[in-house]
Amino acid sequence: MRKTSWLILIIIVLLSVSLIYQNSIKNQSTSNEEQISEMIQGGKSAIERKDYRRTMSYISNNYLESNEMSLESLRSMIIRAYKEPYKYSIVINDSDIKANGKFADATLDIEVYSTKGQENHMVYDDKITLRLENETARRWLVFPVNKWRVVGASGLPQFNE
């Protein structure tokens, strides 16, 4: 490779590292409550788009509900729900987020609607509490970042397997 090619490659790498560093500083400067609110909005958006990978990125590998629902049970439930021909919309009426160090609780008053064609049905209307943990994750498999992830939930409706 010629010197100019190497120079361009070095500039691109330096700019990329600079952008990643600035983004990680931005995430550290926002409060825990703001980070959790952004995470909840991202999860809401992923569910409404039926984006399985994005949805699962908000759930910890340590997920376990008080009724012993494991991560694998949750995964299979999400896959079944996303295969249904319905579109989902979620309305968050109220949220109460309490962060305490590495852990947090987010109580949400939500309404879930399913739509098929012109039919719109309310599927769920109640409060749920998400238990969150600030975990170390990797961005692009290399750069360590802290992300809030769901480690448990209460108030979810019971579904038959």
For residue 77, the SS3 value is: helix
Give the torsion sign (CA, 26, 31, 35, 41). Answer: negative
What DSSP state is assigned to residue 72? Answer: H
At 67-84, the pLDDT tens digits run 667 888 889 989 998 998
Mean per-residue pLDDT for 117-144? Answer: 84
Q: Which residues, in sequence order, are bridge partners of residue 121?
A: 114
What DSSP state is assigned to residue 70? Answer: B
pLDDT for the residue numbered 66: 65
CA-CA distance, 43 to 55, in Å (whole number)? 6
Which contiguous run of DSSP H or E holds residue 141? none
CA-CA distance, 144 to 95, in Å (whole number)? 29
What DSSP state is assigned to residue 64? Answer: B
Mean per-residue pLDDT for 54-65? Answer: 89
How many angstroms separate the first and last alpha carbons of the chain?
A: 59
CA-CA distance, 44 to 39, in Å (whole number)? 9
Give the number of other CB atoms < 10 A from CB of residue 141: 5
Confidence of residue 86 (pLDDT cuts 50, 70, 90): confident
Q: Which of 1-5, 61-65, 70-74, 118-122 has the lowest mean pLDDT?
A: 1-5
- Residue bearing the bigger pLDDT, 65 or 38: 38
Mean per-residue pLDDT for 133-143? Answer: 76
Give the torsion sign (CA, 149, 82, 80, 120). Answer: positive
Cβ-contact 66, 152 below 8 angstroms: yes
Give the torsion sign (CA, 73, 79, 82, 85). Answer: negative
